[in-house]
Amino acid sequence: MKRVYISVINDLATDQRVGRVAKLLAENKFDVTCIGRRLKKSPALKNKTIKYRRYRMLFTGGPLFYACFNMRLLTSLLFAKRPALLISNDLDTLPANFIASRIRKVPLIYDSHELFTQVPELIHRRTVQSVWKGIESWLLPKLQYAVTVNYSIATIYRRLYGTRFKVVRNVPEKLDYTPREAGDVRKQTIIYQGALNVGRGLELMIDAMQYLENVRFVVVGTGDIEKELVLRMDQKELGDRIEFKGRMMPEEIVPLTRSADLGISLEEDLGLNYRYALPNKLFNYIQCRVPVLCSALPEMSRIVDSYGIGISSKERDPEKLAGIVRYMLKERSGGAWMGALDKAALELCWENESAIYLELLKDCGVLN
């Protein structure tokens, strides 16, 4: 059985893209080991067909953390039992994977989930950003096999480095959908799932909740600005309308999302990474047949507008945004968007998208 080592710098518990790729490989008779890090509150990992290795790190952030993680990862990969393939997820695991692949003479797939050097956390830290840009410009031109989440990012990387990236969108597995029973009377629900970081439009949505009655806003996830968001909610006395669920496992999020009436993805245009974002939450909403309100940024609006599954908007005024939400909730209650969501859900699913990843495995010579 051919061995594949997949590495990522998170704790693997809620990384749905890595989980889907690992499952796909296991289904195709690969011996899969996923490598990540262990945090204080990391939950147990339950998939018995996949092996896991999570490092406890002395440092939790900064240059020493990234350096130590890559040194430990490199050591593991150099002494791993006969790898047939290495898969590196994002730039922060690429140095160790690249060196190991060259020394051990095995193919490497680089899976870029975003424009790493353009994340909001880096664009105002020029020195740190320049270090990551240096690593990127050193390694990406040397890559033979690479994949990313949308065509905009693939185009940017090709223009910068001449590297061809296949596109595998971050779509979930197909879900069976059961319509709600007639007469289901309750507060209408808006849902957000993902990281609670700068530029996600969460402050805007909290402010908009002041103008919405008999509506609740459910926030799923954790992140750097979680405390600030809770404080904002408390200051505006919206604790009866907004609920922070914290981190949830993917299997827990699905029933919660299915019960929602509207999903939001209101990222700000803070650099190229957000401008060309195509987040997995968008596709999760679609599979759960939840209409989408998103920012009018290129990749998100292309999906929402072309399939007709919601509204893309440039609006950043809380009261006006609340008016759009109110309209969408009214239309949703009348069954608007459901036919379009059904069509989108059938097309935008991992069962279709995974065929591209299988082609990449054939290109690497590890799958017949």
CA 282/CA 286 separation, integer angstroms: 7
| pLDDT (tens place) for every residue of the chain, 368 residues total | 899 999 999 999 999 999 999 999 999 999 999 999 999 889 989 888 999 999 999 888 899 999 999 999 999 999 999 999 999 999 999 999 999 999 999 999 999 999 999 988 888 889 999 999 999 999 999 999 999 999 999 999 999 999 999 999 999 999 988 776 654 556 899 999 999 999 999 999 999 999 999 999 999 999 999 999 999 999 999 999 999 999 999 889 999 999 999 999 999 999 899 999 999 999 999 999 999 999 999 999 999 999 999 999 999 999 999 999 999 999 998 888 999 999 999 999 999 999 999 999 999 999 98
**Is there a contact between 220 and 205 (Cβ–Cβ < 8 Å)?**
no
Q: Which two tokens stand for residue 343?
A: 């069509």
Beta bridge partners of 36: 54
Q: Which amino acid is at 214?
A: N
How far, CA to CA in Å, does 273 sit from each of 132, 163, 196? Answer: 14, 18, 16
What is the pTM assigned to this prediction?
Answer: 0.93
CA 247/CA 223 separation, integer angstroms: 9
pLDDT for the residue numbered 180: 67
pLDDT for the residue numbered 2: 96
**Closest by Cα among 98, 185, 88, 170 to 141:** 98
**Closest by Cα among 116, 128, 102 to 157:** 116
pLDDT for the residue numbered 178: 77
pLDDT for the residue numbered 121: 83
How far, CA to CA in Å, does 126 sit from each of 20, 60, 121, 137? Answer: 34, 21, 10, 16
**Is there a contact between 195 and 219 (Cβ–Cβ < 8 Å)?**
no
